[in-house]
């Protein structure tokens, strides 16, 4: 029974890493392609330093790759959790977002990403990861 649980957990953590990693890469790629200039201008309009768009691009795109591979998973997951927490705070304070809304900004997706990142930071990457192969898991 324990072996079945361990195998299912390994698969589940791989799915968590893949979904979060791919989603972050999809969000980070346009910033990578356009040099984060447009995102930086938007951040500046919100009263946030424009250079943070570059950090977001690095974390979203390259952090997504690292998550999919399962390399440095706990560190990347902690950074993503901090990033998502700051997104939630920014959306609530600057954009007056609610948790779920159909007609104005909301942060329910950010909350889901935050919870997935925290889960990966606590539990680790699982058996199907480079971290596991090199002894970091």
DSSP 106-123: B-HHHHHHHHHHHHHHHH
On whether the pTM is more than 0.75, the answer is: yes
- pLDDT of res. 38: 83
Q: What is the pLDDT of residues 92-108, one digit of tens each?
A: 998 899 999 888 899 99
How far are the Cα atoms of 3, 5, 63, 96, 132 from residue 27, in angstroms, in the given order? 36, 33, 11, 22, 27
- Domain range annotation of the chain: 2-134
How far are the Cα atoms of 30, 41, 126 from residue 3, in angstroms, in the given order? 42, 51, 13
From the centroid of its chain, how far is CA 119?
12
Q: What is the pLDDT of residues 23-50, one digit of tens each?
A: 999 999 988 887 777 888 888 888 888 8
Q: What is the mean pLDDT of residues 49-70?
A: 94
Return the structure tokens found at 36.
């984060």
Give yes or no for residue 132 having a pLDDT over 90: yes
């Amino acid at each position: 029974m324990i072996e079945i649980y361990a195998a299912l957990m390994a698969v589940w953590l791989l799915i968590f890493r893949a979904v979060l990693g791919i989603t972050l890469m999809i969000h980070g790629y346009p910033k990578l392609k356009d040099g984060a200039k447009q995102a930086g201008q938007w951040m500046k309009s919100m009263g946030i330093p424009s250079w943070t768009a570059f950090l977001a691009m690095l974390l979203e795109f390259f952090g997504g790759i690292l998550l999919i591979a399962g390399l440095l998973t706990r560190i990347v997951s902690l950074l993503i959790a901090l990033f998502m927490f700051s997104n939630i705070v920014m959306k609530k304070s600057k954009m007056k977002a609610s948790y779920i809304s159909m007609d104005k900004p909301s942060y329910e997706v950010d909350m889901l990403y935050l919870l997935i990142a925290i889960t990966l930071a606590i539990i680790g990457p699982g058996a199907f990861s480079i971290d596991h192969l090199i002894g970091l898991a």
